[in-house]
Structure 1
Amino acid sequence: MALIEDLAEQLAHDVIEAQKELGEDRFYIDIGNYIGTSSPSLQEAFMTACRLRLAELRGRAYFEKRLGELRSAKEPAPAEDAPK
């Protein structure tokens, strides 16, 4: 059902943004548990959306770190001052 995925995606986006703002890395679990009391189907879709978003954030951070390291390693070393 597309409605469940749409709702879950929208909420996951908002929760992940709030989580970053608050520095609460498990905030989504609290929200997921609360949702589950009303709709296990929405809870499942929400938790999946959150896990995917969090994995993408971690993957992107690692990618950017490694890319920076590899680019730095390819830069030529600065020339030393010539002897006077």
Structure 2
Amino acid sequence: MSNTITTLAAKLAEDTMKVMDETGNDRFFVEVGELLGASSQTLEEAFLTEMRVRIAERKARKFVIDALTKHRSQVKAIEKK
């Protein structure tokens, strides 16, 4: 895949994530993907890959943070005893 497509897909995914965060519409990327698919399947595929990676990273990061928060609260509870 060309650097241009990768760069454009990454920037569009970044901007799309910002719109999703601000509007609360967590399926907005699907609409963007459909729009892209009408004119460039290659860019659509690159964009959707970028989105899946970002969404997965966000979910995994939340899981890690939640696990650490839970662990720390358990440690504090034990220390209080």
1:13 counterpart SS class: helix
Shift of 1:42: 0.1
Q: TM-score, normalised by structure 1?
A: 0.89
**C-alpha distance after superposition, 1:26-56 (max 9, x if no partner):** 0000000100101000000000000000011
The answer to whether 1:18 aligns with 2:6 is no
Q: TM-score, normalised by structure 2?
A: 0.92
Shift of 1:74: 1.4
Matched letter for residue 71 of structure 1: R
Rg (Cα) greater in structure? 1
1:25 counterpart SS class: coil
1:41 corresponding residue in structure 2:
42
2:80 corresponding residue in structure 1:
77
2:80 counterpart SS class: coil
Shift of 1:3: 0.6
Identity of counterpart residues, as a percentage?
36
Structure number with the higher helix fraction is 2
Q: Which moved more, 1:5-14 or 1:66-75?
A: 66-75
1:67 corresponding residue in structure 2:
68
Q: How many residues align?
A: 78
Moved over 3 A (4+): none
- Gap runs ≥5 in structure 1: 79-84
